[in-house]
Amino acid sequence: MGFQPAQGLVVSAGLEAHDTDWAKPEALLDCYIVWATASNDEGTLPCRGPKGRLNYRMECRIPLQGLVAMSHIYRPIVAAWLLSLLAAPAYAQQGHPALPAQAAAQVDRLLSEEVLRGQTLAPPVDDAAYLRRVSLDIIGEPPTPQEIVAFILDPAPDKRARLVERLLGHPLYGQNWARYWRDVILARRSNDRALDLSGNSAVVYLTEQFNAGRGWDAIVRSILTATGKARTDGSTVLAIAHEGKPEETAAEAARVFLGIQLQCAQCHDHPYDSWMREQFHQLAAYFPRVVLRPLPVEVLPDFEVTSIEKVRGGGRNKAQPEHYMSDLNDPKAKGTLTQPQFFLDDAQEQAGLTDGQRRATLARRTTAPDNPWFAKALVNRVWAELLGRGFYEPIDDLGADRKCAAPQTLDYLTRQFIASGHDLRWLLTTITATAAYQRPGRARSESDKAPFSSVVIQPLRADVLFSALGTALQVDLDQVQQNRRGRQGGPRAQFELAFGYDPSLPRDEVAPSISQALLLMNSPQIARAMRADTQQSPLGRLAAAIKDDDLVVSELYLRTLSREPGSAERATARSHIQETGNRAAALEDILWALVNSAEFRERR
């Protein structure tokens, strides 16, 4: 399926270099081209992804001399040369991905063949439920009552697709998924300080990357090759999380980005997978030259991730230029010198590579389109977050020896994702357009008749629950004052401590706790924000503005559960207001009960 860009209009082009070693005779360039239209044998196609951009990526090695490569004069020349390459058949074969609507339909078709044969499937959920689901999944916030009403009344037939497009263009999209990945990477940190050091900077960095539409492969490459300061350069989050230690960093990089759990192979051949101890240490050998340097303390302690190329005499904990696999029979011995080698393709590296070269090479091999697990791990994860269960479960445990619930569907989705240039917006648009995603939710404890025959209810992540609480109470909880002094991190961080969980865990291991119940029931900050007896608070203003009890109750339900109350629920509320006698107190009780309900804490 080729195409001819000859009639394409280049809106802008950008170049980015990945290899930071300028002394190399070659540079690896990523080329981003934005097209308005393109044509092929079948005619002119509007190439539209979310926000009207479609990023094409290609890697090419260009013989350049150091600094000359990056000069302003040289860049446009290189860009023009690259554009001319795009017409080449080799590139044309890469093709472009199916438009999300078509891909979604194909996914549904494949699922029905693979796992849903003969099942009677529920129709899609109603608009209010879809709006809430998609808002929580994409931007990590529930919809406001106005948005709910507007969406329900919108007559457009493609309103759901347009809603998704709108949400993906919202800056909170990047922030929501940045927080997700921060939780994933820092949950298994071996350096306890990493949360304090990198927690914020990682979110800032990833928010920027996701909102800019950068491809997942490029983002992962930047994380694997990152250098810089923990508090300002969020891309260093993985190195900070494991203090640059080769074994831990390698194991986590494999688990998080490839879904392959190698860590058992650290000490012995993996007990039940095919990975050998040697392979683990060959992966660790990409990282021995990473070192964390403490920086002089200005306000807060900080560390810099940097490379060390030569061993300096003396001092403990300095990184050696090489990685040695320890001898189990003789732990005091230095061990076997191990060269970096990538466990998935057995490609061997040259000896004596610098840190930049090692990590850049690893980054390329990890994110290569022909790496069977990279894109799959990401697609599996995102699918699992949205549908409530992955093709592979646990979601960070893939591999040839693992069982996949619907291999052809996952393969198709993965191939399209790669073709899109690892475009996360494309993936989210596609998944949210499938019929599978739009089916009603079921409790995790109920077994499903067939995988993906229904969506599984997910517990909200700490950040999302915090935002939902803010919407419910109509208060900006980040600004709420804390009574106790000397608490680190502010209200959101405290909430995250109580409600946070590792997103890589099987979700049925995440259960609400008594401490969480106590917080929602008795937190003074929440109670203050819920008062109805004063015009200073949102509930007080609502009660004063609207005299009709039914309307107030509806508004409270819309703010907390994003839906109108049913008739039984209305009756309960009405009778409670009557029995209590005190309208303000009764409304506080109702809001309290809503915030403490099971439904509030879930994404149905």
Partner 1 sequence: MLLPLLHHAQAAIRPDGGVTRRDFIKGLSAAGLATGTLNFRDAMSLEAAELRKRGMACIVLWMGGGPSQFETFSPLEGHANGGETKAIATSVPGIRIAAQFPELAKTARDIAIIRSMTSKEGNHNRASYLLHSGYLPTPTVKYPSLGAICAHEIADKACELPSYVRIGRTGFVDGGGGFLGVEYDPFVLARGDRVPENSTPLTPVERFRSRQALLARMEAGYAAGGGAAQVADHQKLYQSATRMMLSKQMAAFDLTKESSAIRTAYGEGPFASGCLLARRLVEQGVTFVEVTLGGWDTHADNFTKTKELAGQLDRPMAQLIADLKQRGLLERTLVVWLGEFGRTPKINPRAGRDHYPQAFNVVLSGGGMRGGQVIGRVTRDGMKVDDRPVTVPDLFRTICRSLKIDADREQMTPIGRPIKIVDGGSVVQELFG
- The reply on whether position 594 binds partner 1 by CB under 8 A is yes
Instruction: Please count the residues of the chain.
Output: 604
Q: Which stretch binds partner 1 (CB under 8 A): 98-106, 202-210, 348-356, 503-511?
A: 503-511
Which of 236, 306, 523, 554 is close enough to bind partner 1 by CB under 8 A? Answer: 523
Kindly identify the residues of this chain, within the stretch 303-322, that bind partner 1 according to CB under 8 A.
316-317
Q: What does the DSSP 8-state code read for residue 440? A: P
Which of 326, 339, 354, 474 is close enough to bind partner 1 by CB under 8 A? Answer: 326
Q: Is 593 exposed, middle or buried (0-12, 13-18, 19+ CB in 10 A)?
A: middle
Cβ pair 222, 367 in contact under 8 A:
no
Q: Which stretch binds partner 1 (CB under 8 A): 61-69, 131-139, 474-482, 563-571?
A: 563-571
Which of 508, 545, 551, 578 is close enough to bind partner 1 by CB under 8 A? Answer: 508
Q: Which of 103, 20, 87, 128 is nearest to 440 (CA)?
A: 128
Q: Name the minimum Å distance from CB 319 to partner 1.
A: 13
Q: Which stretch binds partner 1 (CB under 8 A): 59-67, 156-164, 285-293, 591-599?
A: 591-599
The 3-state DSSP class for residue 56 equals strand
Please provide the DSSP assignment of 184-221 as one string. HHHHT-SSTTHHHHHHHHHHHHHHHHHHTT--HHHHHH
Q: Name the minimum Å distance from CB 146 to partner 1.
A: 24
Q: Name the minimum Å distance from CB 514 to partner 1.
A: 5
Q: Name the minimum Å distance from CB 444 to partner 1.
A: 8
- The reply on whether position 485 binds partner 1 by CB under 8 A is no
**48/576 with CB nearer partner 1:** 576
d(CA 191, CA 447): 38
d(CA 460, CA 451): 22
- The reply on whether position 518 binds partner 1 by CB under 8 A is yes
Q: Name the minimum Å distance from CB 598 to partner 1.
A: 4
Q: Name the minimum Å distance from CB 60 to partner 1.
A: 43
With tokens 């609400």, the residue in question is 512
Which of 505, 544, 545, 551 is close enough to bind partner 1 by CB under 8 A? Answer: 505
Distance separating the N- and C-terminal Cα atoms of the chain = 40
Q: Is 447 exposed, middle or buried (0-12, 13-18, 19+ CB in 10 A)?
A: exposed
- The reply on whether position 483 binds partner 1 by CB under 8 A is no
The 3-state secondary structure of 224-278 reads HCCCEECCCCHHHHHHHHCCCCHHHHHHHHHHHHHCCCCHHHHCCCCCCCCCCHH
d(CA 271, CA 276): 9
Q: Residue 602 — φ and ψ, nearest 5°?
A: -120, 160
144 vs 93, 467, 594, CA distance in Å? 45, 12, 16
- The reply on whether position 581 binds partner 1 by CB under 8 A is no
d(CA 411, CA 379): 10
Q: Name the minimum Å distance from CB 227 to partner 1.
A: 24
d(CA 97, CA 103): 8
Q: Is 294 exposed, middle or buried (0-12, 13-18, 19+ CB in 10 A)?
A: exposed
- The reply on whether position 509 binds partner 1 by CB under 8 A is yes
Neighbours of 72 (CB within 10 A): 6
- The reply on whether position 337 binds partner 1 by CB under 8 A is no
- The reply on whether position 519 binds partner 1 by CB under 8 A is yes
- The reply on whether position 511 binds partner 1 by CB under 8 A is yes
d(CA 263, CA 282): 13
- The reply on whether position 599 binds partner 1 by CB under 8 A is yes
Which of 264, 308, 404, 493 is close enough to bind partner 1 by CB under 8 A? Answer: 264
- The reply on whether position 568 binds partner 1 by CB under 8 A is yes
Q: Name the minimum Å distance from CB 513 to partner 1.
A: 6
d(CA 339, CA 318): 19
Site string for partner 1, 429-458 (x = CB under 8 A): -----------x-xx-xx----------x-
Kindly identify the residues of this chain, within the stretch 368-397, that bind partner 1 according to CB under 8 A.
393
The 3-state DSSP class for residue 102 equals helix
d(CA 582, CA 574): 12
Which of 118, 514, 548, 581 is close enough to bind partner 1 by CB under 8 A? Answer: 514
Q: Which of 85, 97, 100 is nearest to 160 (CA)?
A: 100
Hey, which residues does 325 pair with through a beta bridge? 336
- The reply on whether position 502 binds partner 1 by CB under 8 A is yes
Kindly identify the residues of this chain, within the stretch 86-105, that bind partner 1 according to CB under 8 A.
none
Which of 101, 105, 172, 585 is close enough to bind partner 1 by CB under 8 A? Answer: 585
Which of 177, 256, 590, 603 is close enough to bind partner 1 by CB under 8 A? Answer: 590
The 3-state DSSP class for residue 18 equals coil
Which of 569, 574, 583, 584 is close enough to bind partner 1 by CB under 8 A? Answer: 569
- The reply on whether position 566 binds partner 1 by CB under 8 A is yes
The maximal CA–CA distance of the chain, rounded, in angstroms, is: 83
Number of residues lying near partner 1 (CB under 8 A): 53
**228/440 with CB nearer partner 1:** 440
Q: Name the minimum Å distance from CB 400 to partner 1.
A: 17
Q: Which stretch binds partner 1 (CB under 8 A): 35-43, 203-211, 378-386, 587-595?
A: 587-595
Q: Which stretch binds partner 1 (CB under 8 A): 363-371, 383-391, 405-413, 511-519?
A: 511-519
Chain positions contacting partner 1, by CB under 8 A: 263-264, 267, 316-317, 326, 330-334, 393, 440, 442-443, 445-446, 457, 502, 505, 508-509, 511-515, 517-519, 521-524, 527, 566, 568-569, 572-573, 576, 580, 585, 589-590, 592-594, 596-599, 602
